[in-house]
Amino acid sequence: MKTHTRTKLVSALTVTALLLSLAGCSSSDQKRERSNDSSETESSAESSAYSAPESSVWYPSGYEPSRTSSAESASGTSSGSSAVPQEWLDNGIFSQYYEAAYGRVKTMTLEAKIGQMLFAACPSENAEEIAFKNLLGGYVMFGDNFKNKTKQQVTDEITTYIYASDIPMCIAVDEEGGTVTRVSGKKLLSDHEFQSPRDLYNSGGMIAIQSDAQEKAQLLKDLFIDVNLAPVCDIAVNYGDFMYSRSLGQDAQTTSDFVTTVTEISQNKGVSVTLKHFPGYGSNSDTHTGIAVDYRDYSAFETNDFLPFQAGIDAGAHCVLVSHNIVNCMDSEHPASLSPAVIKILRESLGFTGIIMTDDLSMDAISLFTGGQTPAVAAVLAGNDMMIVGSDMIESSIASVKAAVEDGTISESIIDHAVTRILSWKYQKGLLR
């Protein structure tokens, strides 16, 4: 069905369903910018679009591309037991939906499952077609996506994105306040920009934080945005720190209280939070523009940086975003976002059972580190559920991960586990029923 015809079919009933789904979520410039309906068979022409040369893929230390044939390595997700694997039963925040989610995963093509693992920057053109083709897990929207648009225009567009495929998308935005205001910085969408957490707290304490969190979540919900890539959990107290203006600017305990407050208020209103930037940014330089290395001892994280993340996790935060900092005490060879060791700490030491996502993989810290090669395989092997990518990285990410599954470098069960979490999250939010 042609896209322009499908767009016209988005009716008032669809909008009503979206409102209900946003309400169902229980207690989340443009440098970031996907598989056909899962029931369709991919044509040979489409398949060739997902063939990446091996030389374009960056592999983490300790991994070598396998030469196992696809027939030997692929698990064949359409066959076998439909019971959720015992080792996945973690009593996690979305665990009541694992069975339904896993049942759906078993019916999906490999390309469709990989598509769900991508949080792509929303392209300025053909966004609905791209979402439909690749069955994307979600779009991240930036200031340009909202420029000179009314609330009605924004909600109409977002509705078509969400329902472009049979698995509805999540729509995310960075709305931290202060220097990062993708939505409230647009006069047609908000009568004022949200202040930074630091300024809010300094002027009105936690009461001001509470009021701001309520208003922010309501604005996003009204625009059908159901994931906020906030709050910033980082502790930055030195004026020269890159995260200084974006952080609360208080000690670990006060920052933990802030994170708990924002998490509970936002998710009670139907907007998932994303705790960032794990494992804690500290005084590191800007990873948008270069590689940053953190030389602190592990004890500094245990007694300080981890605390706000733990508070958010304990409050039921749906997502955690991992930074690109190289944290020597955890993994001196890989950026945190591509590090199995860092993801293991988040899962096992902090007990997080929700969605782990990378920071934007198009940032210079990653492209410089990998020599411009595709980092998606490394991100999956590290244990991320979702990857934030630029719109120009969608096809190369799908192709590289697909090839890695087919040659045995990535077990398809890793993909299945991640997508089971993602779909369980969407069931929790009411996007899937």
Instruction: Pick the closest to residue 116 from 316, 367, 374, 394 (CA basis).
Output: 394
At 311 the pLDDT is: 98
CA–CA dist 82, 308 (Å, integer) = 38
Given this model, what pLDDT does residue 62 score? Answer: 67
Task: Compute the distance between CA of residue 166 and CA of residue 119 in angstroms, rounded to an integer.
Answer: 17
The model's confidence at residue 284, banded by pLDDT at 50, 70 and 90, is confident
Q: Is the pLDDT of residue 14 over 50?
A: no
Query: Looking at the DSSP assignment, which residues form a beta bridge with residue 173?
Result: 141, 228
- pLDDT higher than 90, residue 80: no
| Triad 169, 153, 129: Cα angle to 5° | 45
Please state, in angstroms and rounded to a whole number, the distance separating the CA atoms of residues 95 and 113.
19
Give dist(CA 321, CA 339) in Å, integer.
Answer: 13
Query: Is residue 232 helix, strand or coil?
Result: strand
Indicate the CATH number for domain 3-40+57-429.
3.20.20.300
CB atoms within 10 A of CB 364: 15
Q: Is the pLDDT of residue 204 over 50?
A: yes
Q: Residue 98 is encoded by which pair of tokens? A: 């694992």
- Alpha-carbon distance 234 to 244, whole Å? 9
Q: In whole angstroms, give the CA distance from residue 378 to residue 410.
A: 10
* Predicted local confidence at residue 333, as pLDDT: 95
**What length is written for the chain?**
433
**CB neighbour list of residue 308: distance below 8 Å, 6 or more residues apart:** 233, 234, 235, 252, 255, 256, 258, 259, 275
Model pTM score = 0.85
| Mean pLDDT of all residues in 127-140 | 97
- Contacts of residue 181, defined as CB under 8 A and 6 or more positions apart, other chains included, come to 175, 193, 194
Number of neighbours of residue 61 by Cβ within 10 angstroms: 10
Residue 37 half-sphere exposure, CB side, CA atoms within 13 Å?
6
For 312-364, the pLDDT digits (tens) are: 999 999 999 999 999 999 999 999 999 999 999 999 999 999 999 999 999 99
Residue 235 exposed, middle or buried by CB count within 10 Å (0-12, 13-18, 19+): buried
Tell me the CA distances in angstroms from 346 to 313, 339, 403, 421, one per residue in order: 10, 11, 28, 15
